[in-house]
Amino acid sequence: MNSLAAFPASLRCLAILAVLVGMTGCGRTPPAYFRLNMVEATKQRLTSDQERQVSTILLAMFGTPDEPVALPETGLDLAKLKLAAGPVRSDIAGRKNGLYREHCGHCHGITGDAMGPTAAFLNPYPRDYRPGVFKFKSTERSDKPTHDDLVRILHNGIPGTSMPSFALLSDVQIDALVEYVKYLSIRGETELALMRAYFELDDDAEGKLPETQEFLVAETLVPVAEKWQAAADARIAVPEMPAGLDLAVSIAKGKELFYGDKANCVKCHGPTGLGDGQANDYDDWNKAIVEIGKEVQSGLAKAGETSTSGMSADEVAEHRAQVAWLDRFGQVLTGDALRPRTIPPRNLRHGIYRGGRRPLDLYYRIHAGINGAPMPAAKGTVPPEDIWHIVNYVLSLPYEFDGELGADRTLVAQGR
């Protein structure tokens, strides 16, 4: 029997259950819930009925923050999810549960949408897991991170940001949190796929998505889950650093590449590596909000200059509907998105590397660039073995004495 043979019935049952669970009574804390991606829903012009259908489907496929569901096709470990999910508590054996809400939810949000209560005060913002885009990993730019990549981030934290190290947690607890991050990401990507699928509906569908196992699982969920399952095979092939390498010679070659047309690192990181080479840009999460905001402002300005005189009744109705949609979109951006912030290039002379300071970590980022960020890939323009020279040059910059910071350090040393 198929895992979702009675899928429509299960959708109705779970929706009713969610309503009953929500009736918590006076004085009791209501259960946590996943927020709908209202920015995407509004962008796709979903109706209220369509938004409800997406919410109901996601409820059946992924459950709730307190009771997660892991269909076999996701490849997720439900036992790990249950350890991370729900309110903070201890079981009968004294084992801590609710790890995500205790350690991650205040920044990344219950939904993983980077809208936790402390998120607006942080710079850079916490990661929004829903698009499934991750910056610091050992895989090619467009591929998912491996399990080990996420473990490393949790264990080490991200220097230069508010993401701390969770090295004090046990390996079992870190594994559970990693699994839950995958769960939130797979859920978020599935939500995006469902919302965008309304554009492809036939007229016979009457504005509703098919609630069949073939569509919901085989066509929507499986393509998302398979990308995660393929991450281990997408690791970047890193050549060994040449044995007996003369470090001074390597640094000189790296500097040449840094300033040259092939790598052209100087364009953003600046002639002294201070990160002042190019005006600040946006990462993909902020850029999407910036572009939508411009569209809304431009649309409202154009609508305000448009006279309805001479329009037919249908044209007037269409004009008013467009204005109402733009007004609603503006309200959604205010309540369901953080104010966009630019992302400056890294100041390489600080010696603070967000994705890790191992030479291997720097190799990954120079080779593949940084997914979701303006940092481009050197892959295809710089030979793989030459990337090691750039790595060595970058690692030398905090100690170089012919740069601005190096000169300052010399004066400090003389003063002592």
In a domain, 189, yes or no: yes
Question: For residue 362, how many other CB atoms are within 10 A of its CB?
Answer: 21
> Which of 299, 374, 348, 332 has its CA nearest to residue 141?
374
Q: Half-sphere exposure of residue 283, counting CA atoms within 13 Å on the CB side?
A: 22
Same domain, 215 and 361: no
> Residue 68: helix, strand or coil by DSSP?
strand
Is 155 among the domain residues?
yes
Q: How far apart are CA 402 and CA 416, in angstroms?
A: 20
Same domain, 32 and 86: yes
For the chain, the farthest-separated pair of C-alpha atoms sits apart, in whole angstroms, at: 83
Total structural domains in the chain? 3
Last residue of a domain, one of 336, 354, 371: 336
pLDDT, tens digit (0-9, with 9 covering 90-100), for 221-241: 999 999 999 999 999 999 998
**At 260, which CATH number?**
1.10.760.10
Better-scored residue on pLDDT, 197 or 3: 197
Q: Are residues 402 and 327 in the same domain?
A: no
What confidence score (pLDDT) does residue 416 get? 39
Residue 219 lies in a domain: yes
| Domain-ending residue, one of 217, 233, 249 | 233
- Same domain flag for 200 and 258: no
Q: What is the pLDDT of residue 7?
A: 56
Are 85 and 173 a contacting pair, CB within 8 Å?
A: no
Residue 136 within a domain: yes
The parent domain of residue 244 ranges over 236-281+343-415
Whole-number Å distance between alpha carbons of 292 and 276: 27
pLDDT at 401 (0 to 100): 67
Residue 182 and residue 43 share a domain: yes
226 and 242 inside one domain: no
Statement to judge: residues 38 and 22 lie in one domain: yes
pLDDT digits (tens, 9 = 90+) for 104-152: 999 999 999 999 999 999 999 999 999 999 999 999 999 999 999 999 9
Q: Is residue 121 part of a domain?
A: yes
- What percent of the chain shows pLDDT beyond 90? 78
Q: Based on the domain organization, do 122 and 134 belong to the same domain? A: yes
**Same structural domain, 161 and 201:** yes
Rounded to the nearest integer, the mean pLDDT of the chain is 89
- Helix, strand or coil, per DSSP, at residue 139: strand
- Regarding whether 399 and 315 lie in a shared domain, the answer is no
How far apart, in whole angstroms, are the C-alpha atoms of residue 154 and residue 135? Answer: 14
On the 0-12 / 13-18 / 19+ scale of CB atoms within 10 A, 40 is buried
Domain identity same for 270 and 380: yes
345 in Cβ contact with 108 (< 8 Å): no
User: Is 205 within a domain?
Assistant: yes
Residues 115 and 196 in one domain: yes
In tens, the pLDDT along 161-189 reads: 999 999 999 999 999 999 999 999 999 99
Within 10 angstroms of residue 190's Cβ, the number of other Cβ atoms is: 25
pLDDT (tens digit per residue) in 185-210:
999 999 999 999 999 888 777 899 99
Which of these three, 233, 257, 272, is where a domain ends? 233
The answer to the question of residue 1 being in a domain is no
Provide the whole-model pTM.
Answer: 0.89
